[in-house]
C-alpha cells in the first residue's frame, strides 16, 4: 500500500507536459526566472557583522542585533522589487531562516574571507564597492577589462563583500537596506 501511494504521489507531480514539478527552487533558478542579478536576502538596518557563507554556498548567515541567523538559498521562492533603478529579487518564502549553531558559525567563518570593499575571483573578475565622496558604486571588472558601474548609492554606505565558496555569488551589506547577494556572470 505504501509503494502504491508513493507511486501515485510521484505521478501526480508530473504535469501535463511531462515535466517534474517537484524540482527544488534554488537561488539560481529563481534569479533566472525573475531575470534578476541581485537579491535582497535580509531587509534590516540592524545587521552587526559581515555576512558568512556556508561551505557549500547553499546558505548565508548574518548577525542581527547580536544573534546569528542562517538563510537557506534552496527551496525558496523570490518575489520582485525595485532597487537603485533595477529589478531585484526578494525572498518571499516564510521561514527561510533559522538560528545559526555555534558549530555552523565556525564552519561558515572558515570559508568566508572578509573583504571590506573588493574581491577577485579565480577567473580574475573583480567586484568592488568604491567610495566616491558620500556615495558608493558597485563596479564589476572582468579579467582586467573595462569597469562596469552596476549602481551608485545616494549616500548609503555599502561594504563587507564576501565571495561565495563556489564563486558564483558575492554578498554585501547596504546599511539602509540589509544583506544583498549578487550573481557573478
| pTM metric for this prediction | 0.85
Complete DSSP assignment for 92-128: --TT-EEEPPHHHHHHHHHH---BSSEEE-TT-EEEE
Nearest CA to 41 among 178, 185, 183?
178
Nearest CA to 57 among 173, 174, 163, 178?
163
Print pLDDT tens along the chain (185 aa).
333 323 323 333 333 334 444 467 999 999 999 999 999 999 999 998 999 999 999 999 999 999 999 999 999 999 999 998 899 999 999 999 999 999 999 999 999 998 889 999 999 999 999 998 889 999 999 988 899 999 999 889 999 999 999 999 999 999 999 999 999 97
Complete DSSP assignment for 53-95: E-TTSSEEEEEETTEEEEEE-BS--EEEEEETTEEEEEE--TT
Amino acid at each position: 500500500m505504501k509503494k502504491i501511494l508513493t507511486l501515485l504521489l510521484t505521478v501526480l507531480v508530473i504535469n501535463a507536459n511531462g515535466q517534474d514539478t517537484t524540482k527544488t527552487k534554488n537561488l539560481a533558478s529563481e534569479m533566472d526566472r525573475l531575470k534578476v542579478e541581485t537579491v535582497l536576502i535580509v531587509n534590516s538596518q540592524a545587521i552587526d557583522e559581515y555576512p558568512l557563507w556556508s561551505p557549500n554556498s547553499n546558505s548565508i548567515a548574518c548577525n542581527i542585533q547580536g544573534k546569528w541567523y542562517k538563510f537557506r538559498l534552496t527551496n525558496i521562492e523570490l518575489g520582485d522589487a525595485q532597487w537603485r533603478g533595477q529589478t531585484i529579487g526578494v525572498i518571499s518564502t516564510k521561514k527561510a531562516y533559522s538560528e545559526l549553531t555555534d558549530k555552523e558559525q565556525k564552519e561558515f567563518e572558515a570559508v568566508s574571507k572578509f573583504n571590506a570593499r573588493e574581491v577577485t575571483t579565480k577567473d580574475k573578475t573583480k567586484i568592488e564597492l568604491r567610495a566616491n565622496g558620500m556615495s558608493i558604486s558597485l563596479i564589476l571588472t572582468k579579467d582586467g577589462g573595462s569597469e562596469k558601474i552596476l549602481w551608485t548609492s545616494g549616500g548609503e554606505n555599502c561594504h563587507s563583500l564576501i565571495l561565495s565558496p563556489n564563486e558564483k555569488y558575492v554578498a554585501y551589506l547596504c546599511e539602509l537596506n540589509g544583506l544583498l547577494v549578487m550573481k557573478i556572470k
